Chain A
Amino acid sequence: MNRQSLLSTSLAALAGLMLVDAIPAEASPRAFVTNERDHTMSVVDMATLKVTDTIKTGRRPRGIIASPDGKLIYVCASDDNRVEVYDAATLKLVKTLRSGPDPELFVLHPSGNPLYIANEDDNMVTVVNVENNDLIAEIPVGVEPEGMGISPDGKYMVNTSETTNMAHVVDTSNNEIIENILVDSRPRIAEFSKDGKQLWVSAEVGGTVAVIDPATWKIIKKISFKIPGVADDAIQPVGVRITKDGSKAFIALGPANRVAVVNAKTLEVEKYLLVGQRVWQLGFTPDEKFLLSTNGNSNDISVIDVADEKVTKSITVGRLPWGVVVVP
């Protein structure tokens, strides 16, 4: 090798190194999807819409959320009775956190700490300090707690109990229940609007979504759904996501294989989008250009263009995809 070619080879190698270095800085958002039956988590690159990694998790991973900075991914490993925390960049398990038995869904305080976990088997919400794994409180709620929501100011945490059919409102300053709101059968998700002025609670068996005013904790409206050619009992609302500007809400309708688009101002259903089979949970990309739905029976996720209200793609993931979160 002469001097000239040695120099160019070195330059090429250097450029290669720089390229490798540059990738994380310019990385596109990634979606993390829990696959309940495979005990894995799929990682999807949102630029290429391809699965880039599949990570082995604890048994029966279900609820999945990210820390406010998007650097940590929290997973409920339901059958291992613990919460697992992954580094979103390295995809490595960083630590595990305590939970009560059978954690299914959870929510982080907007500050990133503590973590509120619904424990289906002992009718408690466990409050855990994510820094040191200390148990802060155990809040007795209804039978089979599931859905978990928190107001944007962090003052109120809401848990739904599947068998009691209630949304329990907890004052986070003292972890006491201040209100119990009766909703329809088998409530699944509690989701606040970003301005904190609405609380949406889906009822899977009841087939409705209750919109609640947090000023009075009264139900303003129960939204119901009708889809031509779909039996009413297949309409089973589960996942709920509301855009940051409070204009639109998206509701996953289970075996109806549709996501409903609701005008969040008028509370009227405007459209139904056909997605995969048994659509369960939903997650926005950070810029809210896209919404992803997990489709448990077709083992894929659907990509919904939020502005166009159209399904643009489906991506095969693991078996029985359950939850999804997207980080920058």
Chain B
Amino acid sequence: MATLDLSTLSITEANERIRTLGEQGTDIEIINPDARHHIGVGLTAPVNVKVKGSAGYFCAGLSDGASFEIEHNVGWAVGDNMYAGSVIVGGNAGAIPGVAIRGADIVVKGNMGSRAGQVMKAGNLICAGNSNFMAGYMMYGGRIVILGNSGEQVGQDMTAGEIFVAGDVQSLGADAMLTDLDSTDTDEIRALLDKYEISFKGALQKVVNAGTKLRYAKQEPRTRPQPFFVSSGRSDYWNAKVQEDIFIKAGTGRYRIRGYGASKPMAHFNDIAFRKDLSHAGNDADALTRVNLETKIGGRYGAKPLSLSMPVQIAPMSFGALSKKSKIALATASRMSGISENTGEGGMLEEARQEADQLVFQCLSGRLGWNIKDMQRADGLEIYISQGAKPGLGGQLMAKKITPELAEKRGIPEGIDLRSPSRHPDVLGADDLVIKLEEFREATGHKIPVSIKMGAGRVKDDIKIAYKDGFDYVALDGLQGSTGAASTEVLENVGIPTVGALIEAKLGLAEIEAGDDMQLVIMGGIKDGIDAAKAIALGADAVAMGTAAIIAGGCIACMQCHVGTCPVGIATQDPEHTDRYDNAQEALNIHRFLEGVRWQMAAITDALGYDDIHKLSPDDLVALTPEAAAITGLEYVPGHVDLQNSALKKA
């Protein structure tokens, strides 16, 4: 037994010692905790940790296998995302105890706060006292036992799992109902309570999902595919796209779901050009040797940055939205081209981790596939707030794509049309976000960068929060960004275009006199190296490409990703279709595309007279349309002629 005194150790020092002692198999006692946050975060050794006093937020969070005992109180999110082990709280717990747990027993001997067990998927959350409201909110599995009163709206939007209440069920949440106990429930719960020395003799009520919201009753009808290229072109008010949309709504009677991004004209990098004559840009194969494209992303606070051979990342796209094979192809291509890949929001594929040299692991509001071991072998972490195709919405994954493998990885039931919450359980504002960010840094020893993924909306305000909260970099996604499934109303209409988002981000940072220590990665409709060079000239540190990469890898852009029967084998989990996908060949195709992007960036940089792409600036650009000029502040060429005062009038 080792003793750590938090009155003399910082929390980071303490957690380093806890991890070291854990690896040695030494039990740990913590004195003078004084309700500090993040005690024991990221511990993956099966040792005992005793906290003599109270702990703050995220105590025992992101741990796997350890047993914690906190004599007194804990703050928010005790046991966050635990896989195995236990936490016993002698006093009260704050909001969201047991949030996102994948296993483990969380035992609160006093009262617990609101939204207990939010998005939990397995394990037991036991409360010997009363619960505050919305216990079991959006839980996907596992068991909650409340020996006191349940609080209001118990089981709100739960997908699966069970909630047992011995006291009053004060009210039921949406899509929750009371049901009879199974014959084994009472004995199992008594055994569980005995294990933690909680005496109980009363009767229990059981709350489960009522099943009213788990499936879209009518799927979109299969239609003749209308490719994105056609649909996104300029057209009149009534066109094939509008007809298709009305036809589908007539068949389903609800909002429509589809894949891909906003499919309509809007300001884009095409409306911007380079100021100098680039007619010779393509003639010199040696541009690559003269131009530096290397870019480091992250490292604001000393973490090891992503080291990109050019300022390009693969954009986040999940295993789930995409097939395993296509995710492997993207990972392989990222290694071949010396850039980073991103897991997207569905968890880390083992094969993708093996194939990618640099892999960013993304954390979704529903914590699907999120776990400490993959965090510790990621090269960067990313908190997903929203994306360009659907700002303000959580993820959607249709039942057809939820295979047993996917259900197991994400921790969700099979057979349902999955929805993630639109917001993180533990982030209700910028002040919560800073504590969440610190949890991730503590869990990974402050070694890797942590970024935030935002859909572009109120960028000028949001970017300031990201800077003040301390992110290494921001991944900003304009309205043109794509998705595997979203409601068309949001996909088409919510958000601002990528060019405007980038400018607003730079303006916001300038307003608070932020340095250049937080980097900006822009994405959303960036289709080639020319767009990338323009984005970097406007102030991005790097770009991320998703749609372009999967088109290079065989996507035909039919905009029916949500249906789950992608004929190419990309946006599907159906073996008949995925068998068609040759991931080795497609990796090579994606890699060659990325090498084309590299060459384009180098050629433009060289033609403009620079030897480093990061020397590009807005002075190198002009706007080709009045709208682009208004959005960016770039000079409008051909510009305005004041006819009344020009030489023309004199003549």
A, B in one complex: no
Q: Which B residues lie at the A interface, using CB under 8 A?
A: none
Q: Which A residues lie at the B interface, using CB under 8 A?
A: none
